[in-house]
Amino acid sequence: MSTPTATLLAEIAEIGRDEVRGGVTRPGLGSAEIALRDWFIEHARARGLEVEIDRNGLTWAWWLPVDGSRDGAVATGSHLDSVPGGGALDGPLGVAGALRALDVLRTRHAHPPRPLALVVFCEEEGSRFGLPCLGSRLMTGAVAPERVRGLRDAHGVTFSSAARDAGIDPDGIGENPEALAHLAAFVELHVEQGRGLQDLGRPVAIAGSILAHGRWQVTLTGAGDHAGTTRMADRHDPVVVLAGIVRAVRQAARSWPDARGTVGRVEVVPGGTNVIASRARAWIDLRHASDDVVRSMLATILSDAAREAESEGCSLAVTEESFTPAVAFDTRLAARLRSVLPDAPVLDTGAGHDAGILAARVQTAMLFARNPTGTSHAPAESCTDEDAEAGAVALADVLDDLLARPLDAPGPS
């Protein structure tokens, strides 16, 4: 069985289509993600792979050597969930590309010299439960399972409940040293999130590093009241403070070269046009190459927010939902990728990835396929059929090299 990358992507393009926002909405452990998981399993089994879903909801498909061993495996894959109204390639290109790379490798080898694992991570975006790369964080022990079980989505559904509905026992989630012990290296193909390759005239790039990034929830509590009868001097309006936070995030990010600062989600309670809000929430996303700069930006923002909250007579509470330090991918593995793909430029990324979480426990690397618009997390995200295929073939070439010649030693450099 051999299917072009674009054909694979076309099969799933309408799953989770969002008619209101545009693009696709595929929340983690939701019906769209589960449908996509089933699609992957069907393709994996059609190729004769051994398939299993592990304790954390990661889906594994194994192409094994003659002796059936899984030790010293090379792995590839990505995720199938999306942000609300996101592009159809962020995640799925890496999964479809993994299947296509396998097809290419099977034209070269009857059996792999070492085991190859195709893996689909769950809830990478964190758009449902607020914790990005949730599956890989659980797998590596980067987050406590007790915390994850109690996470709730916007509708109050707990992770535990959603996991049960998806066929996962929430009591069994947590670090998976057995799976990690099998892996010698992990390489993730991803659609480019930015416009570097278009300007360089190249179809594929090698990832250099990932910016440090974090998410914080800010809750402001004031006093709800009538919009027409409450004098301006008597108000305790949390939305006024929220507006100041949005400005402070923009100002803090602009004060550091190459920093990023975003407030992409807010909630106002009760949300009536003629009602002064009683509570408001904002979610802050901050990124920079330096962990310390991200923390410095946050401190400045929260200091400003505290002053505005006090002036408005509101209370302020802050919760860190996640923080991921800057990731420099394994130098030995990166050198191997450059030897296989000598014409591929090296590009850093400001987006988080499961490969970045795994980097603490396994040698990891990434490839990017050209996105001519440079847009990601939005419907305009794109990749031509030719570039998607080029990314999958480049991935196959890298995997072929890693399967043939083991890395010097396991573990990140």
CB 282 within 8 A of CB 268: no
Q: What pLDDT is recorded for position 71?
A: 95
Cis peptide before 270 (omega within 30 of 0): yes
Count of CB atoms situated within 10 Å of the CB of 171 = 12
Q: What angle is formed at CA 317 by the lines to CA 260 and CA 220, rounded to 5 degrees?
A: 85
Q: What pLDDT is recorded for position 408?
A: 64
Note the Cα 20 to chain centre separation in Å: 23
Residue 9 φ then ψ, to 5°: -65, -35
Amino acid symbol at 108: R
Q: How far apart are CA 295 and CA 213, in angstroms?
A: 10
Note the Cα 373 to chain centre separation in Å: 20
Sign of CA pseudo-dihedral 201, 202, 208, 209: positive
Here the tokens at position 368 are 């990017």
Here the tokens at position 321 are 């939902």
Sign of CA pseudo-dihedral 141, 145, 146, 152: positive
pLDDT averaged per 10 residues in sequence order, the chain, 413 residues: 92 97 97 98 98 97 97 97 96 98 97 97 95 97 97 96 96 97 97 94 96 96 98 98 98 96 97 97 97 98 98 98 93 95 94 94 97 94 97 98 77 40
Q: Which of 198, 201, 190 lies closest to 369 in space, CA to CA?
A: 190
CB 298 within 8 A of CB 214: yes
Helix (H, G, I), strand (E, B) or coil at 264: strand
Here the tokens at position 73 are 């495996």
Q: What pLDDT is recorded for position 65?
A: 97
Q: How many helices (H) and strands (E) does the chain have?
A: 13, 15
pTM metric for this prediction:
0.88
Q: What is the CA radius of gyration of the chain?
A: 22
Q: What pLDDT is recorded for position 406?
A: 78
